[in-house]
Amino acid sequence: MIKTFFSCCKRNAQDKSLWLSFIAGLSLVFAYAPFSQWWLVFIVLPLWFCHLGKQTDHLANIEDTSKNKAKNHRKAVTKHGFIFALGWFASGISWVHVSIDQFGGMPLIISLLLMLLLCCYLALYPALALYIVSRLSPKKQLNLWLIPGVWLVTEYLRGVVLTGFPWLSLGYSQIGGLLSSLAPIIGEVGITATVLLICVTISKIITSHSKKTAISVLACIIFLTLLAQQQTWLTPSDKTIKVALVQGNIKQEMKWQAEQQWPTMLKYLDLTRVNYDADLIVWPESAIPAIESLSTSQEFLDMANRSANLNNSAIITGIINYNFESKEYFNSLIVLGNKHNDEQQGAYYYNNRNRYYKNHLLPIGEFVPFADLLRPLAPFFNLPMSSFTRGNYVQNNLIANDLNILPLICFEIAFAEQLAANFTDETNILLTVSNDAWFGNSHGPHQHMEIARMRALEFGRPLLRSTNNGVTAITDHLGNIQAQAPQFEQYVLKAEVNLVTGKTPYSQHWQLIHLLLPLLLIFIPLLTHFCLGKVSNRSCESV
C-alpha cells in the first residue's frame, strides 16, 4: 500500500510537470500578432528550459541501470517537448478551426478532433528536436546548447514534409523587437536560432554554477545585434509610386453564388474607377469569382483592361483559370492595363504570359491528398475550388506599369525559400494577395501579416498585401506597416511607396545561411563537450 501511495505521488508530480510545459506552450501565442508581446519568449522559454533541466536532474538521481536511466531520460524530455508544442500550436493556430467549423460541414466534435490531430502532428517536430538533443547529450544531463541547432533542423522538416506548414516559427515573434535588425542578414531562420540561443543562455545564468560561458555568449549576441542596427543595406531611389489596394469585403458564403458574380466584379471596377490616379491597383486573391477562360469573364477583363489603359494605370487581380485541354484549374494573378512602356495600350487576351500561377497549394483548401479516399467522407474535403494544379516553382516577375513585381498568393508568403528563388535584381516590389475571410475574426490574418512583414525586411523591398476583408496593408522595405485598412469593411487603401535599390545579405546568401547555421550550432557544442571530456579524462589520469 505504501509503495502504491508513493507511486501515485510520483505520477501526480509528473502530471504536474507536464501541465507546466503545456501552459508554457499555450502562453507563447501572446508573443505573436495581434498581441505582439515579443519579449514574452525570453521569459517563457528560459523558464521552460530550466523546468526541463530540473526534470532531467530528477531522473538522473533515481537509482536505476544506466541503460534504463538513459531511456527514461529521453522519454521524459521528448514527452515534455511534445506537450509544450501541443499547447503552443493549440493556441497559436486555433484560427484554423474557424474555417473547419464554418465551412467544413461537420459536427463540432469532429472538427475539434481534426484540430487536435493537426496540433499533434505539428507537435511531433519540437518533440523530435528534444529527442535528438537528449540522444546527443550526456546520460545524466540535457545539453541545452544543442537545442538551437537541432531545432532549426526539425523546423526545416516542418516546412517541407507534406508540403510544409512553417507557421509560428519563433523568429516571427520578433518582427517588432530588437532582433528584427538581424533579418536582412540571417533571415527569420537566423532570428529563430538567436532567440533560442538567448533563451538557453538565460536559463544557464539562472541555474548553472559556472555562468561565464553563458554571459559571454549573451554579450556577443547583444554586441552583434547592436552592430547590425547600425548597418544600411539598401539605398532609397528617387522613384515613388502611388498604389491602391481594393478590399471588397465579400462574404465567403456569397462569393461563388452565380447571381453574385457580376455584382462582385462591378463592385471592384467601381471602387477602382475613382482611384485611377494610382500607378498600381491591386485586387485580392480570386477577386473575380469566375473562370477566366469563360467568355463572360473575358468580356469583363477586356473592359477593365481598356479602362486602366485609358488612365495610364495597371490592375493586378486574382482569378481562377481553367485549361479546357488539360482539364486543370490554376489559382492565378493577371495584369490588366499598362505593362511596359513599349506596350502600354496592349489589349487583354486570354492566357497571356504576364501572369502568375500559385505553386504552393494549401492542403484540403486547394488540393486534397488521397482525394478518392477522403472526398466521400465529409463536405470539408469538398470545399469550392479544392482541385488546383501547381504552377512552376520559379516564374517571371509580373510586369505592371514598368514595375517588376514578385507575387505570392496567400500561404506562399510563409516560404522564404520560394520567394528567394523568384527574387531578381530587377524586383521592385513584393506582392501577396489573400482571402482570409475563411478565418473570420481570429488572429490568423494578423499572424499572416506578421509573416509578410518579415519577408519585406529579409529581402529589403516594399510589400503590398491585398485581401478580401483584411489584413490589407502596405509595408515599407524595413518591415514597418506604412498604411493599413480596417478589417471587415469595404475599403480602398492608398499610399505612396518609395522604391529602393540594393540587396540584403540574406537575399544573396540565404542558401548558405540555412545550411551553415544548424551545422555550426550543432557541431560547436558537440566539439566543445568532446574536448572538455578529453581534458577531464587527462586530468583524472594525471592524478
Task: Give the cell for residue 536.
Answer: 577531464
3-state secondary structure of 500: strand
Strand locations in 343-472 (E): 355-357, 398-400, 403-409, 429-434, 463-467
Give, in order, the Cα–Cα distances in Å from 210 to each of 127, 205, 213.
28, 8, 7
CB 522 within 8 A of CB 146: yes
- What is the CB-side half-sphere exposure of residue 459 using CA atoms within 13 A? 29
Element (H, E) at 321: strand 314-323
Q: Which long-range contacts (CB under 8 A, 24 or more apart) does 338-345 make?
A: 338/308, 338/309, 338/312, 338/313, 338/314, 338/400, 338/401, 338/402, 339/314, 339/399, 339/400, 339/401, 339/402, 340/399, 340/402, 341/402, 344/309, 344/312, 345/309
The set of catalytic residues is 285, 358, 410
Task: Give the cell for residue 168.
Answer: 509560428
Q: Which residue carries 473575358 as its cell?
A: 298
Q: Mention every residue, 6+ apart, whose C-beta is less than 8 A from residue 286.
A: 255, 318, 319, 320, 331, 385, 435
Distance of CA 357 to the CA centre of its chain: 20
Distance of CA 310 to the CA centre of its chain: 39
